[in-house]
Chain A
Amino acid sequence: MPGLIIRGRIWKFGDSIDNGNIDGVMEGVEPEFKSKVAPGDILVAGKFFGMGASDEHAPRSLQQAGIAAVVADSISNIYQRTLINIGLPAMECPDISSIVEEGDRVEIDFISGQVRNLSNGQSRSGDRLPGLALDILQRGGLISYLKEEFSGKKTPARG
């Protein structure tokens, strides 16, 4: 499946980064980040990424900055769902932050769940996404998924 194996340079963040600090492309953690990040880069975070409120403004700012994927030791449920639903691949991969350094290149295979650090050869197994989430990501997010999936079919999911 194209688009679900993502390679890129990583930016590394710590634990417990909440929605408010993610808003404005991680502005609350590192105000200069938005001028450094380039399209196709990957964000790696520690534990409890995306805790707090459910406002979608913040995750959309990551997408608009060109972040291609998010991998973290753990991601709050509501946040991971939101990232996937807006079309930004996101996976939990326990221990990922211990095998990468800022600037490393990694390869994330969202189908197998494997994350490989191309700079040092280490790898870890992430928490694989269900088929439906992969379908949503391949169509660029839940909205385009719904538009295409149910195109012309009235009352899509009753019963």
Chain B
Amino acid sequence: MGMTITEKIIAHAAGKERVKVGDFVQANVDKLYIKDLRFSKKEDARGLYGVLLEVLRSMGADRVWDAKKIVTNLDEQPARTDRRAEGQEMARKFAREQGSILYEGEEGGIGHNVMVEHGHVKPGEFIVGGDSHTCTYGALGAFATGIGFTETIGVLATGKIWLKVPPAIRFELRGRPGPCVVGKDIVLWVARKIGYEGAINRTLEYTGAGIEALSVESRLTMCNMAVEMIAVNAIIPPDDRAMTYIREVSDGDSKSYRSDSDSEYEQSHAVDLSRIDPQVAAPEYPSNAHPVGDFRGFKIHQGFIGTCTNGRIEDLRMAAKILRGRKIQPGVRLIITPASFLAYRLAEKEGLMEIFRQANATVTSSECGLCVRPSLAAGEVCISSGNRNYRGRMGPKESSVFLSNAATVAASAVTGAIADPREFL
């Protein structure tokens, strides 16, 4: 029996010849990502760094396992809460004292985008992160999963983590997506297919000839939302397009794996990309996805383009294509939050920001933004390019959130109601 790409990466990280589903292993971590909020004192009154120093001292040490493998990022700039400010102060102190990497200012944005754009994610790596959307990195052929507060301290001290090898679910993609169909529509379709809990403690693997037609941005979105199906990780075997991107952003030194033809899958699904319409997920679960036409005309108050799911340059370009020469509906607001300052500056250079201004959209600093901060009043409806639409996610429990790709958000903001972006091309 062969091994899947996920099993191969875990085996390599655990120093084993082979592993199989259900094995418990101890793996060596290649990269650790920590967000600013994890350094606050919310989860433990001593703070993450305080507990870590206690652990290190009892080991007779004062340094983390490997400072150059640790990346921290400020997910909100400027900090708007006491907790965030406290976390950022401690993140800076940690980076300064331990010599680890910290991104802020013009180099910053949302941590997951910064990790990818600055070349910290490479094929074959075993990556863990103190945030549930760490699974995004699987788009470049890495194993990546989120970990909690205490486990982050364990990795900082020892560089190791224990885990159980997950069973795999395969989606075999073929065909080419139609206009205004991107990774977001594919992953919402997948969530609808297997359900919001459909990948619990499993790995999601996307394979097949259909992958080639998908941009790196689309792939990042598809892996990002794996945690919305409670997956451990999602992964796409790297092809030429992925390797070209990796060489552009990093030193390119990496080891890529792919699944053996006789590897075992708990489920396999075939997907014809040409048959997927732009999708919209109705409030409360990302898996409440339907073709956009089913919700056409549903009144909205706010559009939001941003987040680690869909705030990248591809999303900004899609939105600009719809907004060029148009204005958003009076009484409706459209908030655009580029996922990183790199994407922000590129959008400026390409003239997209001028289009957004002319359309009367509001462009904000690059950060997690409205995905983690209330912006809706009771009874208001938002259509968002983000990943979570649970009740009360963007405001009081009486507000609601639809999820879609960035073009659908833009078309809906122009219309004042959910609209099919293909009618605006």
Which residues in A have some Cβ–Cβ distance to B below 8 Å?
16, 18, 20, 47-48, 51-57, 60, 74, 76-78, 81-82, 85-86, 130, 132-133, 141-143, 146-148, 150-158
| A-B CB proximity, top 4 nearest | A130-B24, A82-B148, A157-B158, A147-B58
Which residues in B have some Cβ–Cβ distance to A below 8 Å?
24, 26, 42-44, 51, 54-55, 58-61, 65, 130-132, 145-151, 153-154, 157-160, 162-164, 166, 197, 200-201, 230, 232, 390
Q: Which residue of B lies closest to A58 (CB)?
A: B43
In the bound complex, what is the Cα–Cα distance between A153 and B60 (angstroms)? 6
Can you list 14 A-B pairs with a CB-CB distance of less than 8 A?
A47-B197, A47-B200, A51-B200, A52-B132, A54-B131, A55-B149, A56-B149, A76-B200, A77-B166, A77-B201, A78-B145, A133-B24, A153-B59, A156-B61
Chain B residues with CB under 8 A of A153: 59-60
In the complex, what's the smallest C-beta–C-beta distance from A33 to chain B, in angstroms? 20
Do most interface residues of chain A lie in helix, strand or loop, or is the interface mixed? loop
Chain B residues with CB under 8 A of A60: 43
Q: A51-B197, A81-B148 provided; 19 other pairs, C-beta below 8 A? A: A18-B390, A51-B200, A54-B132, A56-B149, A74-B200, A76-B201, A77-B201, A77-B232, A78-B132, A85-B154, A86-B150, A130-B162, A130-B164, A143-B55, A147-B55, A151-B60, A153-B60, A155-B61, A157-B65
Residue of A76, A130, A146 ringed by the most chain B CB atoms within 10 A: A146
In the bound complex, what is the Cα–Cα distance between A55 and B152 (angstroms)? 12
Contact of B201 with A157 in the complex, beta carbons under 8 Å: no
Supposing A130-B24, A152-B60, A154-B59 touch, asked if A141 and B150 sit within 8 A by C-beta, the answer is yes
In the bound complex, what is the Cα–Cα distance between A142 and B158 (angstroms)? 11
Supposing A76-B200, A133-B162, A158-B159 touch, asked if A54 and B146 sit within 8 A by C-beta, the answer is yes
In the bound complex, what is the Cα–Cα distance between A78 and B24 (angstroms)? 15
Q: Which residue of B lies closest to A153 (CB)?
A: B59
In the complex, what's the smallest C-beta–C-beta distance from B90 to chain A, in angstroms? 16
Supposing A132-B26, A157-B160 touch, asked if A51 and B230 sit within 8 A by C-beta, the answer is yes
In the complex, what's the smallest C-beta–C-beta distance from A92 to chain B, in angstroms? 8
Which among B148, B157, B164, B197 is the interface contact of A78 at CB below 8 angstroms? B148
